[in-house]
Amino acid sequence: MADVYGPTTNHWRAWLTYTVSQGPDSVTVTVKGGPQAVGWGFSISNSIATSIAVSWTGGVSGSGGLQSPSGGNGWNTHCSRTFVIPKDHSGYNGSIICTVTNRSGYMNGTSTAQASFPCPAKDHWAVTYNANGGSGAPGAQTKWHGEVLTISGTRPTRANHTFQGWSTSAGGAVQYAPNSRYGMDGGATLYAVWKLDHLPPVLSNVHASRCTAAGVANDEGTAFHVSAAYRAQAASNTPKVTGISVKWRQAGASAWTDGGTIAVNAASGTASSAAIAPGSIATDKSYEVLVTATDSNGLTASVQTGVGPSYYTMDILASGKGVAFGRACPGPGFHVQGDPVTLNGLQLCSGSSNVAGQVRSAIGLADSGWQAAASGGWEVKYRKYGPLVTLRVATANIAAGAWVRCGWSVPAGYRPKYDITNAAYGPDAAGNNVCRYTVGADGRLTAHRYGSGTTYVTWTVTYLTA
């Protein structure tokens, strides 16, 4: 409740009291008012008129007198009323004006008291739309309290689907049709409900295997062929599978190569291709194959399969001048294919106490480049190529007049030395840029360096299988 007073005239003034309460779609205002003495005595029985105007209501009026003891502040209520003012969509500020006029002949005059109150927009909520896998959902709408919202007539679209209506859940049934009525006071997200027009085809029993250029199955074939069972699925019509396409690529590659299309035109059946990519499929490589069925509705289904390498325990060249293990023999000589390759379970080498950890290698791998491990100033690197394994040892900051050394245990079955290369090799026992190695009776190899200054040197030792 709030009290408001007008300006004092002839020892009296207008008096107004009011309350305001907010509802979801209206404002309730209760007012009452009349004259009030200001430190003066009054005994007026009538002829004082009071009117109270409230925005958009027409107001209320009344009349009466004013009674107050000498020197007092008495008042009289001439009129009162409660008004309910409807809210709109934008909101506004309302006003209250209380005017009191004294025509009694004693202390005549007029005084006006004024007040204002807020009348905000009525309660409202957002109704939004989600295309739920489609596109073209209508924009959000505003639902006002006590009003009925008309659902948007805009229809979203989705390939191979027909729009059915709207639901308050993504997987629910239709609750609202376009242009229907939404009367609930509250917001919501409406999800599009779809009906699938057509079902995609189905591929099963998809196989790809090596064959000759003539299409004859062969584990060493440099072509491949594909077979598959297919089936179209009926929904709103009865489609047929109209083609099965094939693409292929070497395992790990990014681009696909077109392998052609198997011509079919039936609701179901099996299909088999002729030789695909003759001469292009290496026997020691793996390949990925993508098989795709297309139906008369334009829908597709894909299955990925593969063709593995040819497997060999041992292969001898037709001339008898070459042998290969783990692959087809590519030519004269000795060939080993595999990762890793283990000979009698042996490791190539292991680090001595002068080198932290171990440097390990295996024979028969492609050249892997220099691999590094370092500790205490030493750097050990190894390189692998076929049956050869090369160790490279380096150290830095050798003090003048000091020997440094690093050793490895050479496994049984390996020759202790094949060759040694060193740019700073010399016979000077006094220590002028001397690099050398020694081989113990147990096959332990030690590389030595005598420093005549702070230097950086390298030894390279290559081992060959026995």
CATH number at residue 396: 2.60.40
pTM of the predicted structure, to 2 decimals: 0.51
Both 133 and 159 in one domain: the answer is yes
Is position 147 within any domain? yes
Is position 431 within any domain? yes
Both 358 and 447 in one domain: the answer is yes
pLDDT at res. 309 = 87
In the numeric block, which tokens belong to residue 149? 């919202």
Residue 457 neighbours by CB under 8 Å, 6+ apart: 394, 395, 398, 422, 424, 433, 435, 449
Which of 119, 152, 181 marks a domain boundary? 119
Q: Which is nearest to 33 in space by CA: 55, 18, 54?
A: 18
Is position 316 within any domain? no
Is position 145 within any domain? yes
Is position 332 within any domain? no
- pLDDT tens-digit readout, 176-204: 999 999 999 999 999 999 998 999 999 99
| Angle of CA points 261, 267, 268, to nearest 5° | 75
Is position 130 within any domain? yes
Is residue 51 within 8 Å of residue 110, measured between CB atoms?
Answer: no
Both 6 and 114 in one domain: the answer is yes
Both 419 and 445 in one domain: the answer is yes
Domain CATH for 235: 2.60.40.10
Both 213 and 153 in one domain: the answer is no
pLDDT at res. 31 = 97
Number of domains the chain is built from: 4
Which secondary-structure segment (H or E) carries 167? strand 161-167
Which of 171, 196, 221 marks a domain boundary? 196
Looking only at the bridges linking them, the beta strands covering 333-336 and 322-325 are parallel
Is position 328 within any domain? no
Q: Which residues of the chain have pLDDT under 70?
A: 312-313, 326-327, 337-466
What residue numbers bound the domain in which 80 lies?
2-119
**β-bridge partners, 460:** 392, 421
Residue 345 neighbours by CB under 8 Å, 6+ apart: none
**β-bridge partners, 394:** 379, 458
pLDDT at res. 342 = 58
Both 162 and 267 in one domain: the answer is no
Residue 47 neighbours by CB under 8 Å, 6+ apart: 63, 65, 102, 103, 104, 105
pLDDT at res. 332 = 83
